[in-house]
Amino acid sequence: MLHRFASATVVACVLIGVAALGVLLTAFFSPGINLQQFAPVLVAWCLAPLAWGLWAMLTPRAWFPERLPVWGALLGLVAGLLAVFVVNLPARMAAEAVPAAPRGAGVALLVVLYYLVWILVRRAYRSLARPTTQE
């Protein structure tokens, strides 16, 4: 169980670091963008490694690790629906209403992205679970 948690949190932490750097560079090179617009996303990112780790631990034993990307895509669907439709992050960040079609496309993109990222989680799990040789 610890390998599952560790593999998911490691990948989540690295991706959040890269995304945070992207947000900072975007704000730096675009003077019209205010970092306060990104506050809801940044707060959610603080909880993402924990959520990913717990999600990996909840994976059905028969699905682990082969179907882990599908399990991650389900997490992407849940996260996307919450972020885009429940919390309405696009409207909060853009300060204006975003039509349902682009929000739905955003959820679909998030599902695909989570599927691809959870392939990395599967690789991290296999790497962590591999026995190391003592020299």
The residue ranges of every structural domain in the chain are: 2-129
What are the structure tokens assigned to 26, written together?
Answer: 């975007």
12-43 confidence digits (pLDDT tens): 888 888 888 887 888 788 777 777 777 777 77
DSSP string, 98-116: --HHHHHHHHHHHHHHHHH
- The three-class DSSP label of residue 68 is helix
59-87 confidence digits (pLDDT tens): 888 887 888 899 889 988 888 888 777 77
State the DSSP code for 130.
Answer: S
| Main-chain dihedrals φ then ψ at residue 84, nearest 5 degrees | -90, -40
